[in-house]
């Protein structure tokens, strides 16, 4: 089920959108703390964001730029300020579409479904993988956590990706070594151990302790 994050400070409009999304079998959550949009975004890890322009504390353009630092999740702006300048600005800030208020609920739903289809159905895989608030961006092979971007080496990404794709399952050392062989560099047991240890240190430095569990004689696990 696709998750929609609604960043709209008018409670009536936000509740109306949420109810409409749920009637179309979409999961939806409304923003609560407009000073901590990124924390709520990373906690919910939505498939699409509906973002008002005029908001308390920081406007929608600001939050769109912050989202773009860590994710390519589609963003649709909603605003009563629907002049050409605002529409152009919304697109330049990283928005995928613009819906002018007042809007027809059915038109809004159709636009959301179209963006979801373009983003996920055609690509065949999600834009990112998430666990404990950490998001692995599949597009640029980077990891983000609490608004901070963690750069990964090619090997670290090749280790983390299958672990996140199979959360709760043990991935054997042999399978991870096969993934590392794709880098065209020599890989042995020690090479894998060195890369896993280096990745763990990066994760711990960012605050992600005990993110990867070792199963002795079997492999590794993200639970």
Note whether 192 and 180 are within 8 A (CB): yes
Q: Which two tokens stand for residue 57?
A: 């504390």
Rounded to 5 degrees, φ, ψ at 80 are -80, -15
Peptide bond into 153 cis (omega under 30): no
- The gap from C-alpha 56 to its chain's centroid, in whole angstroms, comes to 23
Other beta carbons within 10 angstroms of residue 115's beta carbon come to: 17
Q: What is the pLDDT of residue 148?
A: 78
Q: What is the pLDDT of residue 100?
A: 82
Give 51: exposed, middle or buried? Use CB within 10 Å, 0-12, 13-18, 19+.
Answer: buried
Q: What is the pLDDT of residue 32?
A: 94
Spans of the chain, pLDDT less than 70: 81-86, 121-127, 139, 182-187
């Amino acid at each position: 089920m696709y998750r929609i994050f609604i960043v709209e400070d008018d409670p009536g409009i936000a509740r109306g959108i949420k109810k409409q999304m749920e009637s179309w079998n979409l999961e939806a959550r409304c923003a609560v703390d407009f000073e901590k949009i990124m924390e709520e975004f990373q906690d919910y890890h939505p498939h699409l964001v509906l973002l008002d322009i005029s908001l308390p504390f920081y406007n929608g353009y600001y939050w769109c730029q912050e989202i773009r630092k860590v994710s390519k999740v589609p963003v649709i702006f909603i605003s009563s300020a629907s002049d050409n300048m605002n529409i152009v600005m919304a697109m330049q800030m990283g928005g995928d579409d613009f819906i002018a208020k007042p809007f027809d609920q059915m038109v809004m739903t159709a636009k959301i479904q179209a963006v979801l289809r373009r983003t996920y159905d055609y690509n065949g895989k999600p834009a990112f993988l998430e666990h404990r608030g950490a998001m692995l961006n599949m597009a640029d092979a980077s990891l983000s956590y609490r608004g901070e971007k963690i750069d990964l080496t090619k090997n670290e990404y090749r280790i983390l990706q299958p672990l996140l794709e199979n959360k709760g399952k043990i991935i054997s050392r042999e399978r991870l070594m096969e993934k590392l062989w794709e880098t065209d560099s020599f890989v042995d047991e020690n090479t894998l151990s060195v890369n896993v240890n280096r990745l763990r240190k990066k994760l711990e430095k960012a605050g992600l302790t005990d993110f990867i569990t070792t199963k002795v004689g079997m492999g590794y696990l993200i639970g």
